[in-house]
Amino acid sequence: MNKKVFTSSSKKEKIFRYVNIFLTVAMALIGVALAIYYKVAGDPNERFFPSLGMLIYCAIPFLFELITRSKLPNSVFLIFNIYVAIAGLWGSALSGYKDISYLDIIVHFVMGYLISVLAFFFLCRTGENKAMKQVTVMLFCVFFSLFIESAWELCERTLDLILKIDIQGEWVAGTNAPLLTDTIQDIACNMGGALLFAVHFGLSLITKKDLGIKSMEKEFSIRHKLFEKKNEKNIAQKSSETTESEKNNSPENSDEK
Q: How far apart are CA 199 and CA 197, in angstroms?
A: 5
CA distances 54 to 92, 97, 107, Å, are 10, 16, 17
150 neighbors 187 (Cβ within 8 angstroms): yes
Residue 50 clears pLDDT 60, i.e. is over it: yes
DSSP 234: H
**DSSP SS3 for 118:** helix
The 10 Å Cβ neighbour count of residue 89 is 23
Query: Model confidence over 53-85: pLDDT tens digits?
Result: 999 999 999 999 999 899 999 999 999 999 999
Q: Which residue has the higher pLDDT, 229 or 94?
A: 94
> What is the average per-residue pLDDT within 205-219?
93
For the chain, the domains span 7-73, 101-223
Residue 235 clears pLDDT 50, i.e. is over it: no
Query: Model confidence over 164-201: pLDDT tens digits?
Result: 666 666 666 666 666 677 788 889 999 999 999 999 99
Q: In degrees to the nearest 10, what's the CA dihedral of 146, 197, 85, 163?
A: -10
Residue 257 clears pLDDT 50, i.e. is over it: no
Q: What are phi and psi of 44, to 5 degrees?
A: -65, -25
pLDDT of residue 253: 53
The 10 Å Cβ neighbour count of residue 204 is 19
Predicted TM-score of the model (pTM): 0.77
For all residues of the chain together, what is the average pLDDT?
A: 85
pLDDT of residue 178: 64
Residue 117 clears pLDDT 90, i.e. is over it: yes
pLDDT of residue 5: 79
- Percent of the chain whose pLDDT exceeds 70: 81
